[in-house]
Amino acid sequence: MARIDVENLSVRFPVYGVEFRSLKKELARTVGGRMGKSATGHTVVQALEDVNFRLEAGDRLGLVGGNGSGKTTLLRVLAGAYVPDTGRVEITGKVSALLDVGMGLDASATGYENIYMRGLLNGLSRQEVDAKVDEIAAFSGLGDFLRMPLKAYSAGMQARLAFAAATAIEADILLMDEWIAVGDAEFRDAAQQRLVSLVDRASILVIASHDPSLINSLCNKILHLEGGRIVGWESPSQAVEHMLHPHG
């Protein structure tokens, strides 16, 4: 049974060589969180602080909050890309992270080679990628271009390949940083259907978004973050109201 347990999670990023106050403020705004000092006196950005929650099968969690509130940092911790400074994160089930669908693409490698690299990067064996490569190739619609290096592709073709490869991996837990919309109108329709099917089959969904309608339609739980801290739990309707009228 899929499950996520997060207990007393904190993440800090050390800042070196930034002494001007204006630069420190800009860095904090960009990375998220608040500026502070470590025990050794170094400047740090507190990206997440004392975050606690539990998710079980059937949960659809929306992460909301302003830019730099900690949403993406939390997703990256759940994906295993960031290691907590303090606290505990326990995940039961296979995780698929659609945080950057272009991650791992190599412009000098062919489309087919990139499909294999992306699959291996996501923890699949070569045999598992073998079983999926024909379906990925067909969905991308790139035909013989898959035998050519990515540097010969247009941006739209690269997006097609990246999306097809990233969404071919079914998982118990699906992590998303905003909804993905790629390609021309015809491909976007197919991509939308593929993404909806992937979300439906996942046991747990965690998605960060600034889109009120998306949060309302997808999620049954809302976690509101600001400055790396939990502001509170909201219903989808409460979250939509706050997103549409942030100062109301």
Worst-scoring range by mean pLDDT, 18-32, 79-93, 107-121? 18-32
Q: What are phi and psi of 138, to 5 degrees?
A: -65, -45
Q: Which domain holds residue 25?
A: 3-93+207-244
The reported pLDDT for the residue numbered 77 is 97
- For tokens 């309707």, what's the residue? 237
Span 140-168, average pLDDT = 94
Name the domain count of the chain.
2
pTM of the model: 0.86
CATH number at residue 232: 3.40.50.300
Bridge partner residues of 136 (DSSP): none
Asked if 197 and 166 count as a contact pair (C-beta separation under 8 A), the reply is no
pLDDT confidence band for 136 (50 / 70 / 90):
very high
The type of residue at 102 is G
104 and 148 both lie in a single domain = yes
For residue 27, pLDDT over 70 is answered with no
Judge whether residue 248 has pLDDT over 80: no
The region of weakest confidence among 44-48, 93-97, 213-217 is 44-48
Whether the Cβ atoms of residue 75 and residue 177 lie closer than 8 Å to each other: yes
Same domain, 125 and 180: yes
Q: How far apart are CA 61 and CA 207, in angstroms?
A: 6
Question: Which of the listed ranges 7-16, 21-30, 89-98 does the model predict with the highest average pLDDT?
Answer: 89-98
Task: Check whether residue 72 and residue 133 sit in a common domain.
Answer: no
Average pLDDT, the chain: 89
Mind listing the pLDDT tens digit for each residue in 52-80? 999 999 999 999 999 889 999 999 999 99
Query: Do 219 and 128 share a structural domain?
Result: no
Are 111 and 149 in a shared domain?
yes
The interaxial angle of helices 126-140 and 111-121, nearest 10 deg, is 130
List phi, psi (to 5°) of 155.
Answer: -60, -40
More confident residue, 16 or 236: 236
Do both 197 and 236 map to the same domain?
Answer: no
Q: Do residues 65 and 32 both lie within one domain?
A: yes
User: In the structure encoding, which two tokens stand for residue 144, read together?
Assistant: 């013989």
Query: Is residue 66 domain-shared with residue 108, that is, in the same domain?
Result: no
227 φ/ψ sector (left φ>0, alpha ψ -120 to 50, else beta): left
190-220: string of b/e by CB count within 10 Å (b at 16+)? ebeebbeebbeebbbbbbbbebbebbbebbe
Question: Are the beta carbons of 80 and 45 closer than 8 angstroms?
Answer: no
In this predicted structure, the answer to whether residue 149 has a pLDDT above a threshold of 80 is yes
The pLDDT score that the predictor gives to residue 26 is 55
For residues 89 and 211, membership in a common domain is answered with yes
pLDDT of residue 123: 82
Which residues are registered as beta bridge partners of 9?
Answer: 51
Q: Is the same domain home to 35 and 121?
A: no
User: How much is the pLDDT for 207?
Assistant: 97
pLDDT of residue 25: 57
Q: What is the pLDDT of residues 227-244, one digit of tens each?
A: 999 999 999 999 888 888
Q: Are residues 114 and 161 in the same domain?
A: yes
Domain boundary (184, 202, 220) is at 202
Q: Are residues 112 and 89 in the same domain?
A: no
